[in-house]
Amino acid sequence: MAPEASTARGTDVDIGQLCIDTIRTLSIDAIQKANSGHPGTPMAMAPVAYTLWQRFLRFDPTDPIWPGRDRFVLSAGHASMLLYALLYLAEVRAVDPDYEVVGDPAVSLDDIKSFRQLDSRAPGHPEYRWTSGVETTTGPLGQGIATSVGMAIASKWQGARFNRPGFELFDFDVYSIAGDGCFMEGVSNEAASIAGHLKLDNLCWIYDNNHITIDGKTHLAYDDDVAARFMGYGWNVTRVGDANDTELLSRAFEEFKGEEGRPTLIVVDSHIGYGSPHKQDTAAVHGAPLGEEEVRETKRAYGWPEDAQFLVPDGVREHLAAGIGKRGAELRGEWEKKLVAYAEDNAGLAAEIDAMQKRELPDGWDAGIPGFEADEKGIATRKASNKVENAIAEKLPWLIAGSADLTDSTSVRLDFDGAADFEPGAFDGRQLHFGIREHEAAAISNGLSLSKLRPLWSTYLTFSDYARPAIRLSALMELPVIHVFTHDSIGLGEDGPTHQPVEQIASLRAVPGLDVIRPADANEVAEAWRVAIDRSHQPVALVLTRQAVPVLDRSRYASAEGLRRGGYVLADADGGDPEVILIATGSEVALAVAAHEELGADGIRSRVVSLPCWELFERQGADYRQQVLPPQIAARVSVEEASTIGWDRYVGLEGTRIGMHTFGTSAPLKDVQTKFGFTPDRVAETAREVLQRAKGNS
């Protein structure tokens, strides 16, 4: 019988199946029309997603950013049409950048018809900030489940800080659908391990156990006993033998809701769609549209009109409105009433909740940031950073700090009253211990930020490589995460080339939307933190030294406030315009200053430009940039203990770049720096050579 209306199948069970098949056929039609996409998982997991949304998910389609809502993460982001169909059928409304709910649909039927096409709100993979109702950008396998751990931590932390007897404002659950690919990725091990350790019983992963990846059957490369693996992590593991059994699925979700002290993994056995088995496998293996013949056969198996495209039968949207829509609106209304009553006795905490949701900062958040007196012996910028971090964290209660097993080595320990460790039974702690899990540390930070906390995490700069996928996503999602990287150069000395970063700064600068700040001294560090915290939609990478660097005399040299513009004239020539410009970042600024003094003693007029953040500098107007780096001065030298890639934009064709062209070596600090030419004498000598060459070319 063709499902032309809600009466076609009569009972509530029938309307539920009608909703499931509508999700499936919308997905099939969108992928077929786009001639691109992955139909298998949306077809197989539609009953799971429908059951979760319609019966369990605490989510109000009219207000998809309600703070008390449950989070749904489609970690299997290639199955994006599953989520877009849900957003459309549940009539989720769009939210504008100012966090005001607007009347337009988050995903319209026209968006679905233009799936994967230019400007559609239904892009190839779910994108946060592009499609309302998408809780995090997914697609790189494993990233969704990794980020979901951060969301679950955020729920626990917010509950511990804000909840009061009778006012349980924060207890949201986090659900994520993941497939074999997500569990093959190494980050799934990191994520599941720390979630089990933290006993995050508000976290539920749904494993689409279909034994298929792009190359074919999973037995080609994967024989894991996933259930045993997760039991070893300390998870509650349950199984649903048929993805189409909505009652068994409901019992599994009920079991999760009743679980205490363990996250839950629901293993769901599924099969790729209906129709010709051979063609199903082809579509699954290659992630390809079904093809017109297979589409017709599949719709016939569903009892669907074979020639209908993008059919939404009468009653489907109404049924979802009466389920998730009605339940979500009631829950949100109750939550908002509770918040009003809560604010009467907890005005300060209520104000914090409001500020967090709008990504605003409390008044006076920067009032305690210290200044640093000039000191030739100096202080490592990582240690100066810790002083600034603590001054800010005391006044910014939702700043959460963590490290990949290097809390003291990277100097991110919070040491004021109330800054306890975040651990099971102590969910109000503000010091996270990620263990040696750099990728998950960055992904958890993304999840915390998506939940409106202000996270920072840290490791050595060379190990930023382990976290690169999540760093990239923080930039793609425009999240104000602070990535703290210390031990930033060959200045590590004896640790040698495995720990001495060379290419990492250049590769981080290549990430669109990520501001990489490498401060020269303690006062630039303070300004870097002001820049980093005063962000609502952009991540920052702070790149800091292990070794002490001089604290520059700001009565003699320019104010460190110049960092706010990315680059500035730190020291200038006496008696006329400069003949040569020395440009440096981080610890090498002190070398440039020493070379500047040496050149001045020889009567050579030089300028020192501190350029701690290229991205900020490039956002300044052309007039300012040309004041700092006058185009007519061709004699320029850049100094940075890292790859020289990119420095040509600042030194030009006639300048010279002092940097690293090989890996480092293991030796004491001074020996390593001398070997690779990072001494004041070598910088001054290079400046003379460049100046002589420029004069010869003039």
438 belongs to the catalytic site: yes
Helices (H), 233-325: 246-258, 277-286, 292-302, 316-320
Residue length of the chain: 698
- Bridge-based pairing of strands 540-543 and 515-517 is parallel
Residue 83, CA atoms < 13 Å, CB-side half-sphere: 32
Which tokens in the block code for residue 196?
């089990």
Which one-letter amino acid corresponds to residue 594?
A
Supply the DSSP symbol for 429: -
Instruction: With CA atoms as reference, report the closest residue to 432 among 403, 460, 411.
Output: 403
Closest CA to 540 of 515, 518, 563: 515
Alpha helices of 583-657 — where are they, by DSSP H? Answer: 588-601, 614-618, 622-628, 648-651
With contact defined as beta carbons under 8 Å apart, do 568 and 613 qualify? Answer: no
Token representation of residue 543: 């790149």
Which H/E stretch holds residue 267? strand 264-269
CB neighbour list of residue 180: distance below 8 Å, 6 or more residues apart: 208, 209, 210, 211, 212, 213, 218, 222
Residues 6+ apart with CB under 8 A from 12: none
Residue 417 backbone dihedrals phi, psi, to 5 degrees: -60, 130
- CB neighbours of 234 closer than 8 A, spacing ≥ 6? 196, 197, 199, 262
- Cα angle, residue 191 at apex, residues 188 and 197 outer, rounded to 5°: 135
How far, in Å, CA of 32 to CA of 292, rounded?
A: 8
Task: With CA atoms as reference, report the closest residue to 213 among 286, 126, 290.
Answer: 286
- Other beta carbons within 10 Å of 671: 13
611 contacts 505 by C-beta, under 8 angstroms:
no
Catalytic choice (438, 588, 598, 641): 438
Owner of token pair 């910088």: 683
- Which residue pairs, CB below 8 angstroms and at least 24 apart, start in 644-653? 645/503, 645/506, 646/506, 646/509, 646/614, 647/583, 650/583, 650/611, 651/583
Contact in structure between 541 and 461 (CB atoms under 8 Å): no
DSSP 347: H
Q: Contact 442/508 with Cβ under 8 angstroms?
A: no
Q: How far is CA 505 from the centre of its chain?
A: 18
- Please give the helix or strand (H or E) that residue 191 lies within, else none: helix 186-198
Separation between Cα atoms, residue 652 and residue 631, nearest integer Å: 10
Strand, helix or coil for residue 250: helix
* Residues known to be catalytic: 438
